[in-house]
Amino acid sequence: MSTYARRVLALALAVAAGLSITAGVLPAQAATTTLRIYVSPTGDDAGTGASADRPVRSLQRAHELVRWTRAGRPVEVLLAGGTYRAAPMVWSQYASTPTVIRASGVGGRPVINGSGADGFALAIRPAVPGATMNLTISGISFARWENGIQVSKASGVTLDDITWYKIGGRWATSKRTGYAALHLSDGDGVTVRNSRFQYVENATAQDANLIHAIYATLDSDGLTVTSSSFTFVSGDAIRVRNGSDGVTVAASTFRAAGFNAAVSDWYRASAGEIPSVGGRITASTVMTNYSGRSLRRTYCFDTKTACPVERITAG
């Protein structure tokens, strides 16, 4: 994020803080008890989700309740196991206290199923662009979407034990071109750990290489990926673009994943874009590309070779 953008963000946050004081919600008055909202595929969105035996039905309703009732408290949104038939949604709530959206441990694993819907399953876009989300999502699967999760103009997002399954144009009803299971657009400091990317594919040979398990672009700095697996990804598994510096990939596995490489850098100089630098892939198992051939660890499109060490180091 540019210095100018950070100054604008600081001003916006100050204004937001002033509004909360005007409304009578002073930081010292904020309750410290955790706000818990329970969600279940058999719940009722007319309710408040205040207990496990009276859950709401959707993550969208949980977001509304957080927005209305948080008052500075830490938040836990607890999803019971089962399949949630969902439409694309935006999560905009953020705070200095943490928000955790996780599997409750009851009834198996929650699956957010788009049934082939276009768009992003979940777009994380703070109400004030550039804000720190303090958001962790854990133990949830996203299946059958054109695109998975987007983090836009935000920082402080951790994705733990997430499964992305059947993401992309191949799995969308419209067969439009998909771009990412996880898309970062000016999304800083995002952490992905203990996660799985499976069957991230487009519908045709012409757009097969345009979708990625993770696509970090527009100055999305500090992406960290650890202990994760990439399987059947038709484009490069991890693509960085336009000054998305400092990507770190460690202890991860790539099998049938990638068009050119496990991690690649692409930028368009004619449009004023710049290369990404300071990346590294280490202690990872890189096996085969999507076509079953040997897979490079790194690839830079401008040089058409493995990336120079100042851009992405392979160890």
Phi, psi dihedrals of residue 14, rounded to the nearest 5°: -65, -40
Cα separations (Å) of 168 from 77, 125, 142, 181?
A: 27, 21, 12, 8
Mean pLDDT of the chain: 92
Calculate mean pLDDT across residues 115-121: 98
Q: What is the pLDDT of residues 191-216, one digit of tens each?
A: 999 999 999 999 999 999 999 999 99
Q: What is the pLDDT of residues 69-99, one digit of tens each?
A: 999 999 999 999 999 999 999 999 999 999 9
Cα separations (Å) of 79 from 59, 67, 98, 138, 150?
A: 8, 18, 17, 10, 20
Q: What is the pLDDT of residues 36-76, one digit of tens each?
A: 999 999 999 999 999 999 999 999 999 999 999 999 999 99
Q: What is the pLDDT of residues 228-279, one digit of tens each?
A: 999 999 999 999 999 999 999 999 999 999 999 999 999 999 999 999 999 9
Name the one residue in this structure whose structure tokens are 């800083």.
188
- Local confidence band at 314 (pLDDT 50, 70, 90 cut-offs): very high
pTM confidence score: 0.91
Compute the distance between CA of residue 265 and CA of residue 312 in angstroms, rounded to an integer: 8
Cα separations (Å) of 111 from 56, 66, 75, 166?
A: 16, 21, 21, 12
- Local confidence band at 15 (pLDDT 50, 70, 90 cut-offs): very low
Could you tell me the two tokens for 294? 């040997």
pLDDT score, position 5? 53
- Local confidence band at 26 (pLDDT 50, 70, 90 cut-offs): very low
pLDDT score, position 32? 73
Percent residues over pLDDT 70 in the chain: 90
Compute the distance between CA of residue 155 and CA of residue 131 in angstroms, rounded to an integer: 6
pLDDT score, position 1? 57
CB atoms within 10 A of CB 280: 17
Class of the CATH domain delimited by 34-314: mainly beta
Calculate mean pLDDT across residues 163-180: 98
